Amino acid sequence: MEISIQFKDKEEFKMGVKAGIPIFMGYFPISLTFGLIAKNCGLSGALAVIMASVSFTGAAQFIGVNMFAQGIGLSSIIITTVMINARYLLMSFCVANKLTKSVSTKIRALLAFGITDEVFVVSMTKQELKTSFIFGAQLISHVGWVTGTLAGVLLADILPKSISNSIGIAIYIMFLGLLLPAVRESIKIAIVTVIAMLISSIIYWIPLLNKSIGNWRIIITIIAASLIGAVFLPIKEGEDNE
């Protein structure tokens, strides 16, 4: 496959790398935590690094490892991560629309792999988006994520078990850090969050439901809460979400 990313535009590539350095600095400590948690959940170091390399999606990786540690089946893990990452499909469309029509489908597919929330924001700030710029931002971001995971895997073998085991709480802190700002800014998001908590708790605490639904609890909770929010609490165009 011929890769024809515009390396000839070295200045744009350098600008992309420069724009991605803050992302690198943010990704490294988070992925380091992922490496620690992955090892403590029973994944091999090699598998954790491979997962970080080919998945490159923080929330889905953390949830996937957590579900793996709970003994949840592979099919449930795959469906859950696909649902969590569905937003990247829309982000990829937006980025693709900013690229020139001369960019081939193969290159668009390659760049779509590296789309993350932070890379998307950086890309959208460009008036004229070039493949060399976005590739530079994605490359440095991906390096930060993979090297951080590797550092966490290596650190897990050095730290005392009592310390490395306590790192597991970081996954809950991370998700709270992602959730709380959105809840504070939007009453609708807060309501949907509470609904999701109630649905998950009901399924978990009612023996009949827990037995029949089992590993599908997270998936059913996501679908049910999302549908309720979309039907009864839609966010209209131009609404300030408050």
The answer on 190 and 156 residing in a single domain is no
Interatomic CA distance for residues 107 and 39, integer angstroms: 34
Q: What is the mean pLDDT of residues 96-102?
A: 84
The answer on 155 and 73 residing in a single domain is yes
Determine the structural domain holding residue 198 and report its residue range: 186-232
**44-93 per-position pLDDT tens digit:** 999 999 999 998 888 889 888 888 888 888 888 888 888 888 888 888 98
Q: Is residue 85 part of a domain?
A: yes
The answer on 119 and 28 residing in a single domain is yes
Predicted TM-score (pTM) of the model is 0.73
- For residue 171, CA distances in Å to 69, 82, 113, 168 come to 13, 19, 24, 6
**158-201 per-position pLDDT tens digit:** 887 777 666 667 667 766 776 787 788 889 889 999 999 999 99
180 contacts 66 by C-beta, under 8 angstroms: no
